[in-house]
Amino acid sequence: MPELCNITFNLFQAIKTRIALLLFCVGLSFVSATAWATTYDQQCQCKDGTIILYPKPDPVDNPRSQNQPFTAFQYGTNVEIFSADGTFGTVGVYLFSTAGDLVSTTFDTSTGSIILPISGLSGSYTIIITVPGGTTFEGQFVIL
């Protein structure tokens, strides 16, 4: 009988060690996923909720640091787009995502800003603004 208790104890210890190792691996994967998400978020030019909208295609004689008449911010289930130059008049705004969002509207830039509702679900989001004359501005962000 003592041999049976000894075998049971050793089996219990082996199972306990394997469970501890499994929990360690799961915890490590969460840390790795958070680090990847932070890096990916910075690549998508969406830091602290700010979305930078660049002209498409990029003008050769106009670097990206200039000519940014639109800025957007994502917070919760909304995206707010601001117009730094209210002289564009009415522009077309198109927002879509891999989460299933699809918003198509117009925006009078003289009002200064517009708020667009989004689902807030995880996914990759794209905003495209088309000004009179056909120039487009585009920005992306990711919600994890």
If you average pLDDT over every residue of the chain, what do you get?
75
**Cα 54–chain centre separation:** 16
Q: What is the pLDDT of residue 13?
A: 67
Name the token pair of 62. 């106009």
Sign of CA dihedral 68, 138, 52, 87: positive
Q: What is the pTM of this model?
A: 0.62
The residue extents of the domains of the chain are: 1-43, 46-143
Question: Which CATH code for domain 46-143?
Answer: 2.60.40.3080
With a cut of 70, say whether residue 96 has pLDDT above it.
yes
pLDDT digits (tens, 9 = 90+) for 60-73: 554 444 567 899 99
When pLDDT is averaged across residues 75-104 and rounded to a whole number, the result is 91
When pLDDT is averaged across residues 51-60 and rounded to a whole number, the result is 72
C-alpha span between 65 and 134 (Å, rounded): 21
C-alpha span between 141 and 123 (Å, rounded): 9
C-alpha span between 111 and 120 (Å, rounded): 25
